[in-house]
Amino acid sequence: MKLNQKWIFSFALFLGFSYLMQWQGAALKNSMTPMGIVHLEFAQTEVLFEKIIGIWEIEMLYWNLALDFLYIPIYTYFFQITLSIFIQRHRSKMVQQIGVLLKNATILALFCDLAENTGMIISLSGTHIPIIYILTSWLAGLKFSILGFCLIYILVSIPTLFFRTKSA
C-alpha cells in the first residue's frame, strides 16, 4: 500500500473512530464535566474522581475506556503517517528533525494513554492510592501536550503541500 493510500485509510479510520468516541462519550458530558472523560483523566484526588464517577452511568464509562483502548493505536497510526508525509515535504533539516522528534513522541503519547487508562481502571476497581490520581493526571497532560504539538506541526506544515517541496 502506498503512503497516500495508507494516509487516506488512517485518516478515515481516525475520523470515524473520533466520531464514535464523541458519540459514545456524549453520555459522560454534563454541566460538571463538559469535556467528558477528560475531566476524569485530570482528576488529581480521590474526592474529585469519586464525585465525577458518581454522576455518570458507570457502564458508559467502561464502554468509553474500552473504545479508547482501540482508539489509541488508531490516532497514533494517523499521526505517524501524517507526520511522515510532512517531514518529507520540508526543506529545512531542523524542521524535519522536529517532525521526527514529534513522530517518535507519538509512541510516548501512546504509552502515556495506555498507562493513564490503566490508572483510571485501577481507581475504578476501588484501589484508592493518591499517587495513581496524580500520575494519571500528569500522563494525560503529557499525552495531550505531545498530540497538541503534533497537531501544530501538521497545521503549520499544510502549506508545504501546495507551495514548497523538498528538492531532490
Q: If DSSP states are collapsed to H, E and C, what string results for 61-116? A: HHHHHHHHHHHHHHHHHHHHHHHHHHHHHCCCHHHHHHHHHHHHHHHHHHHHHHHH
pLDDT at 20 over 90: yes
Q: Do the domain assignments include residue 164?
A: no
Res 69 pLDDT > 50: yes
> Looking at residues 118-143, what average pLDDT do you find?
96
Asked if the structure places residue 113 within a domain, the reply is yes
Cα separation of 52 and 60, whole Å? 13
What is the extent of the structural domain holding 100? 3-27+37-159
Grid look-up 469519586 returns: 50
C-beta separation of 32 from 52 below 8 A: yes
Residues 142 and 13: their CA atoms lie apart, in Å, by: 24
pLDDT of amino acid 165:
53
- The reported pLDDT for the residue numbered 1 is 67
Within-domain flag for 148: yes
pLDDT at position 164, please?
57
For the stretch 147-160, pLDDT in tens is 999 999 999 998 88
Region 22-39 average pLDDT? 95
pTM for the whole thing? 0.90
* pLDDT at 24 exceeding the cut of 90: yes
In a domain, 166, yes or no: no
Is 168 inside a domain boundary?
no
In this prediction, residues 80-84 reach a mean pLDDT of 96
Domain count for the chain, please give it: 1
Nearest to 106 by CA among 148, 158, 66, 159: 148
